[in-house]
Amino acid sequence: MTFAPLAIMLTIFVSAGFCHATNLVDGMNGLVAVVAITSALGLAVLAQNSGLVDLALVAALLAASVVGFLGFNWPFGGVFLGDAGSYGVGHLLIWIAFMIVERSPGYCQVVGWV
């Protein structure tokens, strides 16, 4: 995106939308954990394939931490992430995704910056 104000607004809109989406599915027993685990593992694979080992490790650690939460939440919904937890997990996931796109080696050639 070459027009910075539009790119910033779109980034904020997508980031807020994803964080709100994780908060919405927090009320369903285990759904936010499954969504977060699969998203984090998918992002870890994408980061590893792009050569971004640090982001792959962060995504894998996020998935592992949510697996620990899933043990308490599923199947009876004994505990929920709450607003801070669900927004935090969503925020981490979406910004890992943004950083993978920004830091991947072939990104600049696709956009035409180089």
- If DSSP states are collapsed to H, E and C, what string results for 82-101? HHHHHHHHHHHHHHHHHHHH
pTM of the model: 0.85
Q: How confident is the model at residue 110 (pLDDT cuts 50, 70, 90)?
A: low
The amino acid present at 100, given as its one-letter code, is I
Q: How sure is the predictor about 74, in pLDDT bands with cuts at 50, 70 and 90?
A: confident
**Mean local confidence (pLDDT), 39-56:** 93
Q: Is the pLDDT of residue 104 over 80?
A: yes
What dihedral angle (degrees, nearest 10) is formed by the CA atoms of 100, 104, 106, 108? 80
* Residue 101, domain extent: 4-111
- Per-residue exposure over 46-57, b if at least 16 CB sit within 10 Å of its own CB, e if not: bbeebebeebbe
Total count of domains within the chain: 1
